[in-house]
Every structure is written in C-alpha cells, then in structure tokens.
Amino acid sequence: MPTVREDEVELSAVRAQGAGGQNVNKVSSAIHLRFDILASSLPEPVKARLMALNDRRITAEGVLVIKAQVHRTQEMNRADALARLQALVDSVAVAPTVRRATRPTRASQRRRLEGKRQRSDVKASRGRVSD
C-alpha cells in the first residue's frame, strides 16, 4: 500500500462552520487539506485510478480537497483529514480484477429453460376453466 508523504500535503487551519457558540467564532480548529495528485510521489497507476474517481472533492486540476471539522481540536481534525486521505488512497491502491466473460454450461442452460417451462405451465393453469 502506498503511503502519502506529509511534505506533499498542504494543511491550513480555518474556522469551522455550524453551531458551537463563541468557540466557533474565535478558534480556527477546522483543517483544509490540499493534496496535488498529479505532482505526488504515488505510483502512476494509483494516480490514474484516483483521477478516475467520480469524487466532487477532486478538482479538474487534480487537487484533492478534504475539509475536516468534526472534532473540537485542530490536532484531531488534522489526524482525521490525513486518515481520510490515506483511506482514499488505500481504496484505489489495489487494481480491480478484470472480469473475463464466460459462457454458461449446457446443464445450467437446460435447468434455466426447465424452470421457465414449469413457471409457464403454472401460469397457464391459472386461466378460466372451460366446460
């Protein structure tokens, strides 16, 4: 698993949004994390899979922006933002297995058609009875 280097991450403290009274208005405890995917030292396949993600946090220039403001302290928000970044990188680190098309066996085709035939007979027998 490739790890994200701390020197490639730009962290800045901003004021958090939402309720919190005076504390929110005077303390910059939220963290804005910016990570340039294309300029990072990640392997090229991992970069490509990150860029291919349909994630609104990734800009058109290839910069991933994560805002962490769940916790009350700046240190905990910093750790949360870095953990979320690493989790995102880990999610694309392993290449997905390529699906190979296979053909159904003759026996499975026969079982499927037999089941369809039985179901058809059941439904056909539900009709109006004629004398």
pLDDT value at 108 more than 80: yes
pLDDT, tens only, 38-79 = 999 999 999 999 999 999 999 999 999 999 999 988 999 999
**In sequence order, which ranges of 1-131 are alpha helices (DSSP H)?**
22-26, 44-52, 74-93, 106-124
- Strand, helix or coil at 8? helix
pLDDT, tens only, 84-93 = 999 999 999 9
Q: Map out the domains of the chain as residue ranges.
A: 6-93
CA distance 76 to 130: 78
Please indicate, yes or no, whether the overall pTM of this predicted structure exceeds 0.75: no
Placement of tokens 């939220």 in the chain? 30
Which comes out higher in pLDDT, residue 16 or 90?
A: 90
Task: Quote the mean pLDDT of the chain.
Answer: 90
CA distance 30 to 12: 8
Q: What CATH architecture applies to the domain 6-93?
A: 2-Layer Sandwich (3.30)
131: confidence class by pLDDT, cuts 50, 70, 90: confident
